[in-house]
Each structure stands twice: as structure tokens, then as C-alpha cells.
Amino acid sequence: MFTGIVTDVGRIVETKVTGDLRARIATRYDVGGIDIGASIACDGVCLTVVALGSEPEGWFDVEISAETVSKTNLGGWAPGKRVNLERALKVGDELGGHIVSGHVDGLAEVVSVRPEGGSVRVTFRAPEALAKFIAPKGSVALNGTSLTVNEVDGAEFGVNFIPHTQAVTTWGEVAVGDRVNLEVDTMARYVARLREYD
């Protein structure tokens, strides 16, 4: 489990197809404190560490199945791309965002980006099947970042990015047309499912 609080911005060093997609990610994490088999959320996708190293910089490798590539934006990873990272939640850690599983539900598209004071307001379009799970003042995880929804209009919803979030994540680079990993709030999913039996 994760909280959607990004703790590092990694960089794709290389990718290769070996049946599945394998990626090497440079990180500022102390790789000596990461175990093989550990889970790390990479742009919101829970991935398993399969190799580690520290030369010439700290890095870890992950393998990404064809199923995951088909449901996320990870198929577009290329060397130099920056990605939001979060280590798995430990018992006793502060829950600063919301409960995030790292299981992406689909891709949302950025339809507008506009300055708003010192912040940036971004409007996203969710897949129709997921729009019912997104509510004003509710939570979503976008590229692994726990965010509050400001407003909803059909399948479109807006999020405000404060300067701090832009600086410590990849959200300072957002552009119209970007496709981002969307995980809806787990509680919203269960409430909607329960309502099917009313």
C-alpha cells in the first residue's frame, strides 16, 4: 500500500523488452535499504524491484508485464523520462495522502493547463467507466500523486497543483495531451459497488 505522497523523482536510465518490459530507474533512495522483491510505486504503478545497484548512481530495475503496459502510460517510458516514486507504506508511517494500492484503473488525459495565482489548474478527462468514481473534494491518485478533486463536469475533473507539488514531483512538466495513470479512491469504488445492491 502507498499514500500518494511522492518521496523521490527518479529517472529512466534504460528500457528493454525481454518478453516483458524491463526498466532501470535512477533514484536518490539509499538502494542499500531496498530489498529485492520490494514494491515501489513508479508513476503510481506498484512494481517489484528485481535488481539493484549503486554505480555510477543508485538504481533499481523493475519488470513490467504486457498487461500493465496496456493499462498504463509506462509503455511510453524512454531514457531521461522523470517518474514519481514512492516506497511502500510501513506500519506506523504517517498517512499524509490517502490509501493508494498502486493498481491503476485507467488513463486520464490532460485537456487544459492554466495558471491560477501561484498554482496551476489542470483539467483531466477520465474514461467514462471511471468518471462515476470521481467526486468534488474526493481523492484521486494521478501518476502516483494523491490529489484532491476541485470540481467535476461529466467525465472531466479539475485539480489544483500548488508550487510545492510542482517542485517535488513531475507535475511541473504537465502539458495538454499528456496521458496519466489514474487510480480512483478505493472507498469510492466500494461505495459504488454497494449501491448496486440497494
Extended strands (E) in the chain: 8-18, 20-26, 39-42, 45-53, 59-64, 82-87, 106-116, 119-125, 139-142, 145-153, 156-161, 179-184
Q: How high is the pLDDT of residue 90?
A: 76
Q: Is the pLDDT of residue 36 over 90?
A: yes
What one-letter code names the amino acid at 114? R
* Whether the domain at 8-87 and the domain at 106-195 fall into the same CATH topology: yes
Q: How high is the pLDDT of residue 1?
A: 86
Q: How high is the pLDDT of residue 19?
A: 85
Note the pLDDT tens digit of each residue in 87-106. 998 766 777 778 888 999 99
Q: Read off the C-alpha cell for 74.
A: 509506462
Q: Is the pLDDT of residue 46 over 90?
A: yes
Note the pLDDT tens digit of each residue in 122-176. 999 999 999 999 999 999 999 999 999 999 999 999 999 999 999 999 999 999 9
Domain ranges of the chain: 8-87, 106-195
Q: How high is the pLDDT of residue 89?
A: 80
For residue 148, which of 168, 164, 134 has the smallest C-alpha distance?
Answer: 134
Task: Spell out the SS3 assignment of 111-153.
Answer: EEEEEECCEEEEEEECCHHHHCCCCCCCEEEECCEEEEEEEEE
**Beta strand 139-142 pairing with 179-184:** antiparallel
Q: How high is the pLDDT of residue 195?
A: 67
Q: Which fold, 106-195? A: Elongation Factor Tu (Ef-tu); domain 3 (2.40.30)
Q: How high does pLDDT run on average in the chain?
A: 93
Indicate the class that CATH gives domain 8-87.
Answer: mainly beta
**Beta strand 59-64 pairing with 45-53:** antiparallel
Please tell me the distance from the alpha carbon of residue 10 to that of residue 155, in angstroms, as a whole number.
31
For residue 186, what pLDDT band results from cuts at 50, 70 and 90?
confident
Q: Is the pLDDT of residue 75 over 90?
A: yes
pTM higher than 0.85: yes
